[in-house]
Structure 1
Amino acid sequence: MGNREDLLEAAKKCLRDKGFSRTTARDIANASGVSLAGIGYHFRSKDALMNEALFEVMREWGDEMEAALAADISPDATPAERFEAAWDRIIASFDRLRPLWITQFELLSQLDHLPEVRKQLAQNILEARYGLAQLFEGIDPAAEPERARLVGTFYQAMLTGLVGQWLIDPATALKGAEVSAALRMLNL
């Protein structure tokens, strides 16, 4: 790997270990073995490097989530069983991806000062909504964009709420079967 790649990998590690705002240029330089000047040379600034690292980590996370959700579920499973299994997989990812989730919540409070991050998160949320609508309801966003937007936004709100509760107290956060049971109880 070259210095640019070393810096990017170090920034991703720091992002996971320390979060977005607590990572310093010196942290990245020390973790990469590249001089502080290398950050400016390859990325213009520490912020530009951290943004690129964040976007790359988010893409990797999205790929991992997609693979986990695409894993085999019995073809004989009922829609409710598929729903519960999908939520169980999402919830299981919370522990493994805790640093990224914490970073995303950290960034929410800073979005007014990070326009590039806000733009990227908005795009990611849009894609996630469509993906969730397709995953849980089989809605093709190209064929039914408004239905996909509404249903996907609902699932995105559930996901954000569940992960927020899980970050605070994992022991009492809902499991897939409990999410399903709660929705049935609403009787809408």
Structure 2
Amino acid sequence: MGNRDDLLAGAKRCLYEKGYARTTARDISAAAGTSLASIGYHFGSMEKLLNTALIEASREWGEGLSEALSTAADRDAAPLARFETAWTRIIELFATHRPLWVATFEAIAQLDHAEEVRRYFSDGMQEARLGLAALIQDIEETDEAATGIGTLYQALLTGVMAQWLIDPDRAPSGRELTAGLKAIIERAQ
């Protein structure tokens, strides 16, 4: 690996170990085994490096999520069973990437000052909406309902992850989310 790759790997490691808000340029250069000057040379600033690392780590998490959901999906299962399986897998994946979610929520608080990260999250959110609808409900991305269903799943994802960050002992499980959805459906009929 060259210095640029080392810096990116070091920045991702720092995101997991220290978070977005507490990572310094010295932390990254130490983790990467490079000089402080190499950050400016390769990325222009520590903020750009950290944002690039966050975007790359988030993309990797999204790929892991897609893989976890596609391997867990039983296309013949009833919709509520698929829903429960999907959310159980999402929560399991969250547990292994909790530090990334902490860093992500820290970065979200800074979006007014990081247009590149805002664009990435905005574009990624639309892609995630359609992907979640396809993976959880087996809805084609071209289906009219995909955006609405995916938007609900994206809101649920963000809310569930926030609950797991705030109070993991009382955060919902896939089974509890399914019970809640089932109760909503029954009351709506």
1:35-184 equivalences in 2 (<5 Å): 35-73=35-73, 77-144=77-144, 147-184=145-182
| CA distance in 2: counterparts of 1:65 and 1:14, whole angstroms | 22
One-letter identity of the residue aligned with 1:140: E
| CA distance in 2: counterparts of 1:36 and 1:7, whole angstroms | 10
Q: When the two structures are superposed, what TM-score results if normalisation uses the length of structure 1? A: 0.93
Q: When the two structures are superposed, what TM-score results if normalisation uses the length of structure 2? A: 0.92
What is the CA-CA distance between 1:73 and the residue it aligns to? 4.8
Q: Deviations over 1:67-97 (max 9, x none)?
A: 1111145565332222111110001112111
What is the CA-CA distance between 1:137 and the residue it aligns to? 2.2
The change in CA–CA distance for 1:60 and 1:133 in structure 2 (over 3 A counts) is same
Identity of aligned residues (%): 52
List gaps (5 residues or longer) in structure 2. none
CA contact (8 A) 2:132 2:153 kept: yes
List gaps (5 residues or longer) in structure 1. none
One-letter identity of the residue aligned with 1:185: A
CA contact (8 A) 2:79 2:137 kept: no
RMSD: 1.5
More deviation in 24-33 or 78-87?
Answer: 78-87
Stretches of 4+ moved more than 3 A in 1? Answer: 72-77
The change in CA–CA distance for 1:150 and 1:77 in structure 2 (over 3 A counts) is closer
